[in-house]
């Protein structure tokens, strides 16, 4: 399933798992804060580190 970094919340991840989703394709354009700002994505999705942390929290949620 395709998703965006700001959709990686505990409730959504749990619901997707219950529905049988076993992998995600996350629309990360960059982890570079300067580029994120130039692409108008920084305010919407957060810093590169915040995006990376959201991705780390998904580890182990799918593919079991």
Tokens 């919407």: give the residue.
44
The answer to whether residue 22 sits within a structural domain is yes
The answer to whether residue 43 sits within a structural domain is yes
| Dist. CA 46–CA 37, nearest whole Å | 10
Segments forming the whole domain that contains residue 39: 2-58
The answer to whether residue 21 sits within a structural domain is yes
The answer to whether residue 63 sits within a structural domain is no
User: The pTM is what?
Assistant: 0.79
pLDDT, tens digit (0-9, with 9 covering 90-100), for 5-64: 888 888 999 899 899 998 899 989 999 999 999 999 999 999 999 999 999 988 888 765
What three-state secondary structure class fits 26? strand
Give whole-number Cα distances, 58 to 8, 27, 37, 39, in Å.
7, 14, 24, 25
The answer to whether residue 14 sits within a structural domain is yes
The answer to whether residue 40 sits within a structural domain is yes
Q: Which two tokens stand for residue 14?
A: 């749990």
The answer to whether residue 13 sits within a structural domain is yes
The answer to whether residue 30 sits within a structural domain is yes
Contact assessment for residue 61 and residue 17, using Cβ atoms and an 8 Å cutoff: yes
Q: Provide the domain count of the chain.
A: 1
């Amino acid at each position: 399933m395709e998703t965006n970094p700001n959709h990686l919340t505990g409730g959504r991840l749990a619901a997707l798992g219950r529905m049988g989703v076993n992998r995600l394709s996350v629309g990360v354009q960059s982890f570079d804060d300067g580029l994120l700002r130039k692409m108008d994505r920084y305010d919407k999705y957060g810093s590169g580190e915040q995006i990376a942390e959201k991705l780390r929290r998904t580890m182990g949620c799918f593919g079991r």
